Each structure stands twice: as C-alpha cells, then as structure tokens.
Amino acid sequence: MRLFAIRDYRHLFSAQVIALFGTGLATVALALLAYDLAGPNAGAVLGTALTIKMVLYVVIAPLAAAYVDRIPRRAFLVTLDVVRAGVVLGLPFVTEIWQIYVLIALLQAASAAFTPTFQAVIPDIVTDKNAYTRALSASQVAYTMESLLSPVLAAVALSFMTFNWLFAGTSVGFIVSAVLVLSTRVPNARPSVHTKAWDRAAAGIRIFVRTPRLRGIMALNLVVAAAGSIVIVNTVNYVRDDLGGSQTDVSWMLAASGGGTLLTALLLPRVLDRVAERSVMITGAGILIAGTAGAVVLTATGATTYLGTGLVWAVIGSGMALVVTPTGRVLRASVEPNRIPEVFAAQFSLSHLAWLLTYPIAGWVGTSLGFTATWSTLAVLAVLGTVAALALWPRTDTSKDKAPADRSRVTSERDLVMTGTAQGTLAACQCSSTRTT
C-alpha cells in the first residue's frame, strides 16, 4: 500500500489496468471473430494476426526508444492510447479476414511504441529498489488479473450480447487510460548518450549481446513464447473442436492459465527478497517445460478433459509469471538511468522476436499437422531455450553489476577529462554520478 501512496504511480498503474482489461476483452473477441470468419482455420488466422503483431513489435519498439527522449513522454503515451481506441472501434465492422490483418497492424504499431515507453517510465517514478520490486509484481498481477478476469467478464457479457460489443469495451478502456496518463506527472526521458538515431535504436540490443545475464533472458524469452503460444493461439480451436466446448468455455480455459499466473505473482515479491532472480527464472523455465510436456500428453493419449486441460494451462501460467516478473529487476540493475528506455525497448523487441517464431508454429502447424506435432515442437523449443539460458547466464553473474559501457562512450569521457575545460569536467562528473536503476 505504500507503493500506491505514490500518486503518479497510482495513476499510471490504474491506466495500465484499465487498458489491459480493454485489451483482454478484445483478445477474446478477436479469437471468436476469427472462428466466426474462418471456422476450423481460426488458428491459422490468429497465428497470422499475431505474427503481424510480433513483426511490428520487433521493428517499431527500438525506433520508439531512439526518439522517446526527444518528445514529451506523457503526450506521446496519450496520443498512442487515443489511436488504439480509434482502431479498435473498426474491428466490429470487419467482414473479411484481410481486414483483421490491416486493423491489427495499425493497433499493434501503436502498442509497440506505447508499452516499452510506459515500462521505462516506472523506474523514473518508483526509485526505491524494494518499492520497484513491488511495482514489477503489481504490474505482473495486473497482467494476470486481466488474463484471469477478462475471460470471465467476457463469458458473462457473451451470455447477453454478441462478441462484437467487446471491442467497444476495449475502446472505452483506452480512452480512460489516456485520461489517467494525462493526469500524471510523467518525467521526460533522460537524453541518450547516442547522437545518431541508428545508434539509439541498436544500443539496447548491443547491451543484451554483451551482458551474460541479459543473454540468458533472451533465451528465457523463447521458453515463455513456446509455452505461451499454446494457450494464446490454440485454446479456441482446442476447446471448441477437441473438447466440444462453447465460447464461454474458451473464456474459462483462458482464465485457468491466468489463475496460475496470479497465484504465483502474488507470492513472488517475498520470494525475490530471499532468492536470486536467476534461480527463480530458471525454475520458471523448468515449470514451462513441464507444462508443454503435459499439453503433449493430453493430445497424444487422447485424455482431452476439461480438468486435465485446466491444470496444464494453470501450470503454464505459473511458469510464465516466474520468468517474466523478475525480468524488470534484472534490466534495471544492468544499465545506467539514461539507458533504461533503450534496454526496455530491446527486451520488448527481443521477447517478441521469440513470439514471432512460436506464433506461426502454433497457428499454421497446428492447423495443418494437429496439436500433438505442434505442441511437441514447442516443447522442444522450450527445452532448447532453457539449456541456452543455463549456458549463457552463469551462476557467478549477479544482477548488481552494470553492463559494460560502450567503448565510444568511455573514450569520449576520457577525452573530456583530459581537456581540462569546465565543460569537460562537468560532463565527466555527470556521467560518473549516475546511479544504477
């Protein structure tokens, strides 16, 4: 509750929650819209739509980070919320599959710029390390509550309205989110140490490549994407076709995954006070491997029951929380304050690069070869990602050390000191006084 006593954080968190619930309703509605238009091929349609989303996330997020320190972040976030609200209003009028792809491209282009910018704002508002840990957990709980309650709300709403009205709820959520962001004192980003746009866009990627713990996170992104794709892409066809369920049953099964994430996220702050991030995240990867293996067993043995599926989905949700929640702490401890937007944008882009690989597998392969072959492939990817994380992120690497500075930046700082000018001395002092966040 001390965390929510911070007014600006409270407003931003509320904006996040409201926008997330709007997005959650739209996610359920999009799956049902795809099934309405494509029937048994709904998985392929969703896989294509989500692949478009991932491509835009991978490309646009670094570009947004490159320019975010040149514009007011609050105005930028509000504008993106308004754009998303307008685009979502067009989805109820879709009559062709290609129209879904166009609107999703516009919607996700705005989201690709919004999310990493929003994530980078939080460390500037919540500066205490322990409070920031709670903020990360609260953010994960918000994502989890959305994944848990949005399907439930959708199930209730679908009992007396068509799914097209769920898109209207999404639009309202984005507008309310924009109002809350507008009421918040969002500090502008610190100037980047890079002057060229390309250097700014690529800076975060370079930090990931040369920092062991961040290379480990890149591998863990693949584990999360492999398991998560089963739930996000295949649930609608699996429940409707294999289990013979209804639209409401789809929502409840998605809620089972959200329940696993919620219970885990609520326990994590105290765990992270005592256990290193690496141990927690590797454990989460192991649980995700178990979840994907359980999904394969369900279809391979023909044991397609609601209870068994719900348990497997809950395990996958729990493992995702264990990997995703501590990531922000590791990122924050690895860079200096003026590099936070760069590294958050890089993580956003790299994590979605993993989803870009797994979404088409879940959607297209699932449609053509069936769930057993598809989920076996995703289980293998989860194992490979975990093994890579163990190799890339050694036990001796702690999250207290910052990533090494750019060679060009070190050289420029040395030159400034050697000039003996007042400007050079001031610049060197400012660089050395930046704190780890």
Cβ pair 42, 237 in contact under 8 A: yes
Band of pLDDT at residue 146, cut at 50, 70 and 90: low
Ordered alpha helix ranges (H), 68-210: 73-88, 97-125, 129-157, 164-182, 197-210
* Residue 270 exposed, middle or buried by CB count within 10 Å (0-12, 13-18, 19+): exposed
Residues 6+ apart with CB under 8 A from 55: 356
pLDDT (average), residues 242-246 = 81
Higher pLDDT, 257 or 410: 257
Give the residue with greater pLDDT, 435 vs 19.
19
State residue 105's pLDDT score.
83
- The pLDDT value recorded for residue 433 is 38
- The phi and psi torsions of 436 (rounded to 5 degrees) equal -75, 135
What pLDDT is attached to residue 189? 62
**C-alpha to C-alpha distance for 338 and 192, rounded to whole angstroms:** 6
Choice among 77-81, 125-129, 267-271, 278-282 with the minimum mean pLDDT: 125-129
Answer yes or no: is pLDDT of 430 > 50: no
Q: CA distances (Å), 147 to each of 20, 56, 256, in order?
A: 9, 22, 9
Task: Provide the 10 A C-beta neighbour count for residue 271.
Answer: 16
Contact call for residues 265 and 286 (beta carbons, < 8 A): no
Is the pLDDT at 217 greater than 80? The verdict is yes
CA nearest to 120, candidates 336, 344, 330, 328: 344
The pLDDT of residue 21 is above 60: yes
Instruction: Give the model's pLDDT for residue 194.
Output: 53
Lowest mean pLDDT among 158-167, 216-225, 235-244, 419-428: 419-428
User: Residue holding tokens 């979605």?
Assistant: 352
Return the sign of the alpha-carbon dihedral for residues 359, 363, 365, 369.
positive
Q: Is residue 222 scored above 90 in pLDDT?
A: yes
Which tens digits make up the pLDDT trace of 260-318?
A: 887 887 888 888 888 888 999 999 999 999 999 999 998 888 777 888 889 999 999 99
CATH of 3-404, one of 3.40.50.1000, 2.60.40.10, 1.10.645.10, 1.20.1250.20: 1.20.1250.20
- d(CA 125, CA 145) in angstroms, rounded, equals 23
Minimum mean pLDDT range among 149-163, 243-257, 307-321, 345-359: 149-163
Cβ neighbours of residue 246 under 8 Å, at least 6 residues apart? 240
At residue 341 the predicted structure's pLDDT band, cuts being 50, 70 and 90, is low
pLDDT value for 20: 75
Distance, CA of 129 to chain centre:
21
Amino acid sitting at position 30: L
**What's residue 96's pLDDT?**
82
- pLDDT above 70 for 404: no
Q: Give CA–CA dist 184/7, Å, rounded.
A: 8
User: Cβ(343)–Cβ(298) under 8 Å?
Assistant: no
Give percent of the chain above pLDDT 90.
18
Mean pLDDT taken over the chain: 77
More confident site: 40 or 301: 301
> Is 50 exceeded by the pLDDT of residue 423?
no
**pLDDT band (50, 70, 90) for residue 100:** confident
Q: What percent of the chain has pLDDT over 70?
A: 78
Using the predicted structure, report yes or no on whether residue 83 has a pLDDT greater than 60.
yes
Lowest mean pLDDT segment, chosen from 34-43, 52-61, 146-155, 335-344 = 146-155
Provide mean pLDDT across the span 326-349. 77
Segments making up each domain of the chain, as ranges? 3-404, 409-437
Higher-scoring residue by pLDDT: 388, 431: 388
Q: Please say if the pLDDT value at position 400 is more than 80.
A: no
pLDDT at 23 over 80: no
Is 201 or 327 the better-scoring residue by pLDDT? 327
Average pLDDT over residues 162-186: 83
